[in-house]
A and B are shown apart, each in its own frame.
Chain A
């Protein structure tokens, strides 16, 4: 009930916003803020009351939906879901505040779509039924398409349709795999979309789902669907376009939450449900056994080098996102406790840090109306507070110990080192390059001689500070006490890795 309330409150907010008159813009914004604030309060309540000592899903609601196909409205949370729901609920109100002044036209439609997007994201993280999971996954596409396409920059139409086509391409492959899993789950009448049941069946010896060949194919189907979303090389090309064109708040949601939907799916479906398929791509015995880790490595190094080459501030942050998501993939490929914990922590931290970075880029863009790094210079002397916060975000993102970005990356690398020594060592290149592009940007934008064009550039205002401060506090807090978040999911992760080892072990013993 609590979860359903959290998921559908934004949708209710959408209806309310649609009923308000178009002219009362202030009211629309306040109502939206209220309806994104309720999930945040509920998320804090979940954070406090969530039972950290068990991996079983909690706050379950299970109602029959389409009886004929055994489709249920089944929601519940475990450590992984609750972490990401917390992140989503946190970024919701921040994005609304960030959109307060920057959205000039159609504020009503913008806020309505944003609320719909939030329902899609929250529902996705809570869904425990594969069909429901897919419906929520797709539900985020529509609002995102319009939010980029209507309120975006000059090439918004191209970016919006590219985003939509790429994601839809991935999700249709996922749909084929999903139907295949459903049909293989039992005889007609006994088939199911229930994720926990499917996970159990896939590890049951002799069941149709527990076949190596089958699992490899459905693993690939789901993997491509999620890889587009993460995005994993070579499916990443939509991301820089979408980010550059999207309005600030939408970039924040895109980097902060939507990318995590991909990695969340990888853990929830690919790792938990298809242990044999996962083993094929992460056993480290031949090329295919290295493939997942290799993709993580490519993301890290390729993303970082691309970021180094950018002169557009936002594009730089977008490419750095690709690099940082690589650490998540690498950590997951390690499939041990440390690696997976690091990956999940990195998902949360990257959500917070990239949200900060995109907000900061937005602040500068609102003042200068361009994002060319080389056309700035010496801004630091005019905007000291802004420069301070940016430095914090940069340091967190490049992985300075003591700030949150370091912990997730370090754990991911530590986990991966146990399995893929060479690749992990090579991946650290990404961290060095990361430091390079962030420091170089810092130097070009904020230090040096002041560009006379920006003599009287105004300092960051209170509203903007309000959006950044909670995130800034989190980066410092989680840098020092990462266990606040790790405790949420550590039992779930142990359970996951144990059942993985067991399923793979049983299968190999029977070979």
Chain B
């Protein structure tokens, strides 16, 4: 293994360093700006994200197709990591823009809010690139701890405090369990490096030093931690309450960025650590993953059916989307990986877009319930049309991007003969139509008691179109298919 030492690595670590610098600057700037100018803090953090993005892209062109192991093998810099870093920067930027428009966030605490957002992005960057068990745990904890605070950010709202409390309780248990699993894995192989684990495991399995059952137990424990991050059944219980209680921009952030980072970790962990011959045969954990995936989408969808609060409804829907995504990872095939990456991009745009509409409607009507969407098609036709596109894309109806994403996932699953899983996934799409259609029904088929139309400024529509246009065109245009194909994991 060709490891870069600590000094050599720093250059390649520029994006992360920039995030740290800007997070600190945001806190400092916050000391000097008045409350009414607090949006300046948000702009500074946006600048920070843009710098990070530029640095990431520069490094990406610098390393081209090669991949590097930094800090003595603690983290890895490859196309996969860069893909997720770009995705995460986009999600965080969107969250900051939503927060600027949201009327929920306490003005007095904006400095901390934006600094924490940058910090959580840093943690997610590390999640996407960690290749060492210790680093995996540290990055996961960085993300979790900052997320707890962000979820509880509405200090005047008991729901928000409840959300933070539930989040931290579940999170502590999940990370404890995961840590135990990681220590088991370390004990079995004597190393924390994923690539070395991948070499060691077949040997110790063949030598009979450990049994397949032991390995399965370790993996299951580790899955508890990852499953908690991506809100897969049975570790999903926290997410509806947290999503409902947290400020809407944070809910959007958690449902997209946090999930994407969780998947980055999941994919790297399994594709790097457990690909070698002899591991898959000894433990039938792909069936375990398949069952978890099927349960996640089914339970998420069924629970979404009766919801009246749109935020909570989207929370359950995002659980079920975690299930769809997991489906692609069940068999560790390159097709599955490509499908997951493609779907994550699509999901980023359609889900963030849907949450942005929730922010807009909540600002105008002060409510997150489905009733407040009544007559939206006449009160704010463009916003309603955008929501319609996001919801149909989430359902997976062509010609919207969500359909193409699902189609890739199902092709990957059927390609390996798992018809039952594909069928469950597709029937779930039918179920999901029902609850998405309830919002559409309210927007288009019902009329509101209040006639006055919502007024939004031009920049709102500009931001909305940033989500609408990709949701319509990612699938139809032949661009992303070739890109997501080039990303591999060894």
B437–A68 contact, CB under 8 A?
no
B444–A134 contact, CB under 8 A?
no
Residues of B in contact, count (CB < 8 Å) = 27
Bound-state CA distance A65–B398 (Å) is: 15
Interface check A165, CB cutoff 8 A = yes
B426–A173 contact, CB under 8 A?
yes
B445–A150 contact, CB under 8 A?
yes
Binds B, one of A31-39, A141-149, A296-304, A430-438: A141-149
Binds B, one of A42-50, A179-187, A351-359, A441-449: A179-187
- Which residues of the other chain, B, contact A175 by a CB distance below 8 angstroms? 407, 410, 426
Chain A 146-190 interface residues, beta-carbon cutoff 8 Å to B: 146, 149-150, 156-157, 160-161, 164-165, 168-169, 172-173, 175-176, 179-180, 182-183
Chain B 397-413 interface residues, beta-carbon cutoff 8 Å to A: 397-399, 403, 407, 410-411
B410–A139 contact, CB under 8 A?
no
- Which residues of the other chain, B, contact A68 by a CB distance below 8 angstroms? 478, 481-482, 485
Query: Which partner residue on chain A sits nearest B433 by CB separation?
Result: A168
In angstroms, how far is the closest chain B Cβ from the Cβ of A479? 40
In angstroms, how far is the closest chain B Cβ from the Cβ of A183? 5
Binds A, one of B241-249, B252-260, B293-301, B415-423: B415-423
Residues of A in contact, count (CB < 8 Å) = 32
Query: Which partner residue on chain A sits nearest B415 by CB separation?
Result: A183
Contact with B along A452-494 (1 / 0, CB 8 A): 0000000000000000000000000000000000000000000
Interface check B434, CB cutoff 8 A = yes
A165–B430 contact, CB under 8 A?
yes
A172–B429 contact, CB under 8 A?
yes
- Which residues of the other chain, A, contact B485 by a CB distance below 8 angstroms? 68
In angstroms, how far is the closest chain A Cβ from the Cβ of B317? 16
B445–A139 contact, CB under 8 A?
no
B433–A139 contact, CB under 8 A?
no
Query: Which partner residue on chain A sits nearest B441 by CB separation?
Result: A157
In angstroms, how far is the closest chain A Cβ from the Cβ of B428? 9
- Which residues of the other chain, A, contact B427 by a CB distance below 8 angstroms? 169, 172
B392–A149 contact, CB under 8 A?
no
Bound-state CA distance A69–B482 (Å) is: 10
B434–A179 contact, CB under 8 A?
no
Query: Which partner residue on chain B sits nearest A69 by CB separation?
Result: B481
- Which residues of the other chain, B, contact A139 by a CB distance below 8 angstroms? 398-399
Interface check A67, CB cutoff 8 A = yes
Contact with B along A258-270 (1 / 0, CB 8 A): 0000000000000
- Which residues of the other chain, B, contact A509 by a CB distance below 8 angstroms? none
- Which residues of the other chain, A, contact B426 by a CB distance below 8 angstroms? 172-173, 175-176
Interface check A138, CB cutoff 8 A = yes
With known contacts A149-B444, A161-B434, A165-B433, A176–B398 Cβ distance under 8 A: no
B397–A141 contact, CB under 8 A?
yes
Our pick among B397, B399, B429, B441 for the contact of A161 (Cβ within 8 Å) is: B441
Bound-state CA distance A69–B481 (Å) is: 9
Interface check B414, CB cutoff 8 A = yes
Contact with A along B439-461 (1 / 0, CB 8 A): 00100110000000000000000
Bound-state CA distance A102–B276 (Å) is: 68
A165–B434 contact, CB under 8 A?
yes
Could you say which of B398, B399, B411 has the most chain A C-beta atoms within 10 Å of its C-beta?
Answer: B398
With known contacts A141-B397, A173-B426, A65–B478 Cβ distance under 8 A: yes
In angstroms, how far is the closest chain A Cβ from the Cβ of B41? 40
B414–A157 contact, CB under 8 A?
no
With known contacts A69-B481, A161-B437, A164-B437, A135–B398 Cβ distance under 8 A: yes
With known contacts A134-B398, A139-B399, A142-B392, A183–B445 Cβ distance under 8 A: no
B429–A67 contact, CB under 8 A?
no
Interface check A66, CB cutoff 8 A = yes
A138–B397 contact, CB under 8 A?
yes
Bound-state CA distance A237–B61 (Å) is: 58
A179–B410 contact, CB under 8 A?
yes
Bound-state CA distance A65–B485 (Å) is: 17
- Which residues of the other chain, B, contact A156 by a CB distance below 8 angstroms? 445
Our pick among B407, B429, B445 for the contact of A179 (Cβ within 8 Å) is: B407
- Which residues of the other chain, B, contact A172 by a CB distance below 8 angstroms? 426-427, 429-430
Contact with B along A223-243 (1 / 0, CB 8 A): 000000000000000000000
- Which residues of the other chain, A, contact B441 by a CB distance below 8 angstroms? 149, 157, 161
Bound-state CA distance A134–B403 (Å) is: 11
Our pick among B415, B423, B433, B445 for the contact of A176 (Cβ within 8 Å) is: B423
A179–B478 contact, CB under 8 A?
no
- Which residues of the other chain, A, contact B410 by a CB distance below 8 angstroms? 175-176, 179
Bound-state CA distance A127–B423 (Å) is: 25
In angstroms, how far is the closest chain B Cβ from the Cβ of A89? 22
In angstroms, how far is the closest chain A Cβ from the Cβ of B302? 15
- Which residues of the other chain, A, contact B414 by a CB distance below 8 angstroms? 176, 179-180, 183
- Which residues of the other chain, A, contact B397 by a CB distance below 8 angstroms? 138, 141-142, 168
Bound-state CA distance A220–B431 (Å) is: 21
Bound-state CA distance A31–B397 (Å) is: 28
Bound-state CA distance A180–B416 (Å) is: 10
In angstroms, how far is the closest chain A Cβ from the Cβ of B409? 10
Bound-state CA distance A138–B481 (Å) is: 22
- Which residues of the other chain, B, contact A134 by a CB distance below 8 angstroms? 398
In angstroms, how far is the closest chain A Cβ from the Cβ of B211? 36
Chain B 379-402 interface residues, beta-carbon cutoff 8 Å to A: 392, 397-399
Contact with B along A61-89 (1 / 0, CB 8 A): 00011111100000000000000000000
Q: A179-B407, A179-B411 are in contact. List 19 more A-B contacts (CB 8 A).
A: A66-B481, A67-B478, A67-B481, A68-B481, A69-B481, A138-B398, A139-B398, A156-B445, A157-B445, A161-B437, A161-B441, A165-B434, A168-B430, A169-B430, A172-B426, A172-B429, A172-B430, A175-B407, A176-B419
Q: List 21 A-B contacts (CB under 8 A).
A: A64-B478, A65-B478, A66-B481, A68-B482, A135-B398, A139-B399, A142-B392, A142-B397, A149-B444, A150-B444, A150-B445, A157-B445, A160-B445, A168-B430, A168-B433, A172-B427, A175-B410, A179-B410, A179-B414, A179-B422, A183-B415
Q: Which residues of B contact A (CB under 8 A)?
A: 392, 397-399, 403, 407, 410-411, 414-415, 419, 422-423, 426-427, 429-430, 433-434, 437, 441, 444-445, 478, 481-482, 485
In the A-B complex, the 4 residue pairs with the smallest Cβ-Cβ separation, listed nearest first, are: A172-B426, A135-B398, A68-B481, A138-B398
